[in-house]
Amino acid sequence: MLARIVRRVLRRPRRPTEMGPAAGYDRWSSTYDRETGNILIDLDEVVFAGLLERVPLRGKVIADVGCGTGRHWRKILDREPAELVGYDISTGMLAQLRRKYPRAKVYEGSADRLTHTPNASCDFVFSTLTLCHLPDADRAIAEWSRVLRPAGELLLTDYHPATSSSGECSFRSRGEVVTVKLHVHTLASLGEAAARHGLVVVDLVERVVDESMKHHYEASGMLPVFDRMNGRPIVYGLHLRKRESTSS
């Protein structure tokens, strides 16, 4: 009888471990660059690369907010910017970035406090899959606008609010599922925050789940999730530009 109870307990699925963004991404950092089949990361690559093609980078000063392991850095550096600076809250992710780019200029800190970057000193700021980890989107956009020069460009990609309404993202590490809380920011509220801080919307891209993504769910044994998500937006990309004059 006792043996049956022990076996039943051992077979029970373990509850996910909840962590804050810094601790969660520290945990994920050692395997993050080897992640395969992650639909959000794969779609972020597609959306961000498409928007990036329209932004001039040669000779520009650039800040990557929530840079992580420097996932987008090679495509940026190949276009010869004058300077690329990264910010991230996770020491583990920054350690991985420094292994790939030993001379990288990076700072540990919150994405909405770029304390090492002066006013109007950047030509281009980008932030991918980061804004959803910040409770106050208006504060973040205000800070990113602060460091942009007039006519500077800002690119954001993130979990679509229709997807992040579940309230958390998850990954598997050391045999357990780890979850990190997400904050939902509607696209309307982001547009309003941008306008308040001297930014205009240049483009908005929304990627929806379709048949081309079915294999991601099938490989994970999550076809019922695909059926539920089919046709729903999952990632967005937002291209903003700072006004030449905040009085206009």
Q: State the SS3 of the chain.
A: CHHHHHHHHHHCCCCCEEECHHHHHHHHHHHHCCCCCCHHHHHHHHHHHHHHCCCCCCCCEEEEECCCCCCCHHHHHCCCCCEEEEEECCHHHHHHHHHHCCCCEEEECCCCCCCCCCCCCEEEEEEECCHHHCCCHHHHHHHHHHHEEEEEEEEEEEECHHHHCCCEEEEEECCEEEEEECCCCCHHHHHHHHHHCCEEEEEEEEEECCHHHHHHHHHCCCHHHHHHHCCCEEEEEEEEEECCCCCC
| Residue 163 burial class via C-beta count within 10 angstroms: exposed 0-12, middle 13-18, buried 19 and up | buried
Strands of the sheet containing 61-65, edge to edge, are: 105-108, 83-88, 61-65, 122-128, 148-159, 233-242, 199-208
Asked whether 61 and 83 are in contact (CB, 8 A), the reply is: yes
Give the pair of three-digit tokens for residue 81: 């910017």
- Tell which wins on pLDDT, 27 or 246: 27
Whether residue 118 has pLDDT greater than 60: yes
Taking residues 97-117, report their average pLDDT.
96
pLDDT digits (tens, 9 = 90+) for 128-186: 999 999 999 999 999 999 999 999 999 999 999 987 665 767 777 777 888 888 899 99
pLDDT number for residue 3: 38
Give the pair of three-digit tokens for residue 73: 């850095």
Please give the Cα distance from 38 to 113 (Å, whole number).
29
- 1 falls within a domain: no
CB atoms within 10 A of CB 181: 15
- 111 falls within a domain: yes
Please give the Cα distance from 150 to 129 (Å, whole number).
25
- 9 falls within a domain: no
pLDDT number for residue 13: 47
Give the count of domains, the chain.
1
Taking residues 185-203, report their average pLDDT.
97
* Residue ranges making up the domain that contains 101: 15-242
- 247 falls within a domain: no
Tell me the pTM. Answer: 0.87
Please work out, in degrees rounded to the nearest 5, the angle formed at the alpha carbon of residue 131 by the alpha carbons of 125 and 137.
95
pLDDT digits (tens, 9 = 90+) for 43-85: 899 999 999 999 999 999 999 999 999 999 999 999 999 999 9
- 59 falls within a domain: yes
- 6 falls within a domain: no
**Nearest to residue 97, comparing CAs of 121, 81, 127, 73?**
73
Pairing of strands 199-208, 233-242: antiparallel
- 4 falls within a domain: no
**What CATH number did the domain enclosing 124 receive?**
3.40.50.150
- 35 falls within a domain: yes
pLDDT number for residue 158: 95
